[in-house]
Structure 1
Amino acid sequence: MKKLLLGVILLVATITNAQKGSILLGGNVGFASEKIGDSKSTSFEFSPKVGYQFTDNWTAGIEGAIGTIDVKGFEKTENYKIGGFVRYSTPLSETFAFYTDLGAGYQNTSLNHAKGMYINLTPALFINMKRGFGLNFSIGGINYDNLDGKNDPRQERIGFDFGKTLNIGVSKNFGL
């Protein structure tokens, strides 16, 4: 189990700080499992990103997510997101860079066919390892989302989770 968790942590990837005119590919992979008494839930999410760095500091692109939540005794829920993002990055040295992603878009879930929007702001640190490969670290961000289902009241959530989450990822920059 420890090897699986370490593998998932290493697969959690985001787009790196790169050079003007380059294509950035990345994304996140997440998995969670929880058991309380006889109740068990598992969730999985894959969130790819593709972007183009049009200046030394600014990147813009598209992002998406596909996820599932499976709770014992309930119907499996599937979630989808599609949207855009912008990133501002600032090199701190040849090895380190700080960046912030602002993403927004459309989301839906199979539970009551709910639809809505999301927006998030995530600061992070990039460590350049070698030849465009690097490690990314973030410890949370600010999130807002809403969902409107057919038979449910409108749901709105605001999250401020600095220090409550840890994402460690690898990333790759592809120059043109």
Structure 2
Amino acid sequence: MKKLVLTLALVFGMLTANAQFFVGGQFGLTYDGDTENTTFRIAPEFGYAFNDAWTVAGSIGYTHMDNYNSFYIAPYARWTFFNQGIIGLLVDGGFGISTGKHKGFDSETGFEIGFKPGLAFNLTENFSLVAHYGFLGYRDKYNGNSVSGLSLSGNDLSFSLYYKF
């Protein structure tokens, strides 16, 4: 029994020796003059980097438009497959669940499952800027958006700032 506990402690120690927690997220405020629609979005993220290649994380977000409110939660795993200097190429694979309501209508629940490619800029040892563009997977009424396959719309562009500690 002592050997098993010692072995598990050693394995856990090796896995977490280079690990780092991080916090960050997204914030957005836009105004569309044609439709006179203001959109506000906040999505804090939190995660745990096992090493330079693998991370598990999650995002909790809220979106408000003039007649629409949405809340979502989206856990994911990140694989950074290329790291050279301050640049890293990555892909996030995960799923998300959302609930949204247009004023005067019933609320609707949606989900997504898929991959989001991205580019990381490691600004300092503690700060990173990550940009994602595109989505490959399936969305059904997720934040009011449904798609199957590859999506390269402006809605699939996001920027996040992370602090590692």
User: For residue 98 of structure 1, what is the aligned residue in structure 2?
Assistant: 89
Q: Does 1:48 align with 2:47?
A: no
Which gives a bigger RCO, structure 1 or 2 (Cα 8 Å, sep 6+)?
1
Distance in 2, matches of 1:97 and 1:44, equals: 29
2:26·2:161 contact (CA, 8 Å) conserved in 1? no
Q: State which of 68, 73, 76 in structure 2 corresponds to 1:82.
A: 73
**Superposed displacement of residue 169, structure 1:** 4.1
Distance in 1, matches of 2:52 and 2:83, equals: 13
User: For residue 10 of structure 2, what is the aligned residue in structure 1?
Assistant: none
Unpaired runs of 5+ residues, structure 2, are: 1-16
Deviation per residue, 1:44-100 (Å, 9 max, x gap)? 111121111123311112221101111xxxxx2110001311100134312211111
Q: Does 1:128 align with 2:122?
A: yes
1:117 counterpart letter in structure 2: F
- Report the 3-state secondary structure (helix = DSSP H, G, I; strand = E; otherwise coil) of the residue aligned with 2:36: strand
Count, aligned residues: 143
Distance in 2, matches of 1:61 and 1:168, equals: 16
Runs of 4+ aligned residues of structure 1 deviating over 4 Å after TM superposition are: 163-166
Question: Percent identical across equivalent pairs?
Answer: 21
TM-score by length of 1: 0.68
Q: Does 1:158 align with 2:148?
A: yes
User: For residue 26 of structure 1, what is the aligned residue in structure 2?
Assistant: 24
Q: Which structure has the larger Rg over C-alpha atoms?
A: 2
TM-score by length of 2: 0.72
CA RMSD of aligned residues (A): 2.6
